[in-house]
Amino acid sequence: MKIIYKITYPNGKIYIGKDLTDSINYFGSASSELISKDFTREERKNFTIRKEIIWESESASDKEVNAKEVELIRKFNSNNPGIGFNQWPKYKI
């Protein structure tokens, strides 16, 4: 199963990512440096995130999954720094 997921952080910002293997333990490759700027040391001591599968397919090619990921990043505006942590595709004001 190939999936696209949405991670929601405690501050409400999101990250959209893909997993071509449907690993329950995979949480993407969002920039730790970027995320850490949004949280104090104290806030980082008790930190809960939510991972939701927002799309899945047993038959999509990797190319189709890549295209769907970009589509959903744009749909959720997770590349807008005020909304999310995706850095690609570049957000256009």
Q: Please give the pLDDT value at position 92.
A: 83
The whole-number average pLDDT for the span 25-47 is 94
Task: Indicate the domain borders of the chain.
Answer: 2-76
Distances (CA, A) of 35 to 32, 61, 62, 86, 87: 5, 30, 27, 10, 11
What pTM does this model have?
0.93
Q: Please give the pLDDT value at position 70.
A: 98
Q: Please give the pLDDT value at position 44.
A: 94
Q: pLDDT class for 93, splitting at 50, 70, 90?
A: confident
Q: pLDDT class for 34, splitting at 50, 70, 90?
A: very high
**Is the preceding omega at residue 10 within 30 degrees of 0, hence cis?**
no
